[in-house]
Amino acid sequence: MAALSPLSVALLVAVTVGLAAAILAWRERPEPGATWLSALLVGQVWWATFLVFELEAATLPAKALWYDVQWVGVVAVPVGWLFFALAYTGYDRYVTPFSVAAVCIVPAATVAVAAAGDPGNLLATERVVRETAVGTFLDVVPGPLYYIIAGYTYLLGAVGSVPLLQLIRDDARPFRGQSAALLVGTAAPWAGSVAYITGAIPIPGLDPTPLVFVISGVAYLLALSRFRLLTLAPAPRRRARQLVFEQLHDPVFVVGTEGYLVDLNESAAETFGIDRRAAIGQPAASAVPRYDAVRDLADGGDKPRAIPIVGRDGRRPYEATVRDVVDDHDRTSARVITFHDVGAYLGQQQRLNVLNRVFRHDVRTETNLIQGYAERLRSDATDERALSVIDRSAGRILELSERTRTAGKLFDPTEEYASSPLPDVVDEAVADAREIDPDARVEVGRVPAVAVSVVLRVVLKNLCSNAVRHNDGASPWVQIDATVADDWVDVTVADDGPGIDPAEYDVLDRGTETPLRHGSGIGLWIVKWGVDHLGGRIDFDEREPRGTTVTVSVPVDRSGVPSTDR
- pLDDT tens per residue, the chain (566 residues)? 456 777 888 888 888 888 888 888 888 787 878 888 899 889 989 988 988 888 888 888 888 898 889 899 989 989 998 998 888 887 888 889 999 999 999 999 999 999 988 888 888 888 888 877 767 878 888 889 988 998 998 899 888 888 877 776 655 566 666 677 777 777 777 777 777 777 767 777 677 777 777 777 777 777 776 666 666 666 666 666 677 777 777 888 888 878 888 888 888 888 888 888 888 888 888 888 888 777 766 544 445 555 666 555 555 677 788 888 776 667 777 888 888 777 666 566 666 666 666 666 667 777 877 788 787 777 777 777 777 877 777 777 776 677 666 666 655 555 666 788 888 988 988 888 888 888 888 888 888 888 888 888 888 888 888 888 878 777 888 899 999 988 889 999 998 888 776 666 555 555 554 443 444 556 777 787 778 777 788 888 888 888 888 898 988 887 654 444 44
- Cβ pair 529, 552 in contact under 8 A: no
- Cβ pair 106, 123 in contact under 8 A: no
Q: Which amino acid is at 208?
A: P
Q: What is the CA radius of gyration of the chain?
A: 40
**Residue ranges matching CATH 1.10.287 in the chain:** 343-410
**Residue ranges matching CATH 3.30.565.10 in the chain:** 416-566
> CA–CA separation, 478 vs 349, rounded Å?
33
Q: Which residues pair with 478 in a beta bridge?
A: 442, 495
Q: Selecting from 3.40.50.1000, 2.60.120.200, 3.30.565.10, 3.10.420.10, what CATH number does the domain 416-566 have? A: 3.30.565.10
Question: From residue 423, how far is each of 42, 308, 430, 434, 536 by CA, in Å?
Answer: 76, 34, 11, 16, 19
CATH code of the domain made up of 6-237: 1.20.1070.10
Q: Residue 447 — left, alpha, or beta (φ > 0 → left; ψ -120 to 50 → alpha)?
A: beta
**Residue ranges matching CATH 1.20.1070.10 in the chain:** 6-237
Q: Which residues pair with 283 in a beta bridge?
A: 260
> CA–CA separation, 261 vs 367, rounded Å?
60
Angle at 142 between CA 137 and CA 148, to 5 degrees: 135
Structurally, at CATH architecture level, domain 248-341 sits in 2-Layer Sandwich (3.30)
User: What sign results for the dihedral spanned by CA atoms 218, 223, 227, 231?
Assistant: negative
Task: Tell me, rounded to whole angstroms, the distance of Cα 393 from its chain centroid.
Answer: 54
Angle subtended by helix axes 60-69 and 71-88, to nearest 10: 20
> CA–CA separation, 471 vs 495, rounded Å?
8
Count the Cβ atoms, other than its own, within 10 Å of residue 183.
17
Question: From residue 343, how far is each of 8, 309, 400 by CA, in Å?
Answer: 75, 11, 25
Which helix (H) or strand (E) segment is 295 a member of?
Answer: none
Q: Which residues pair with 261 in a beta bridge?
A: 255
Domain 343-410 coded CATH 1.20.950: no
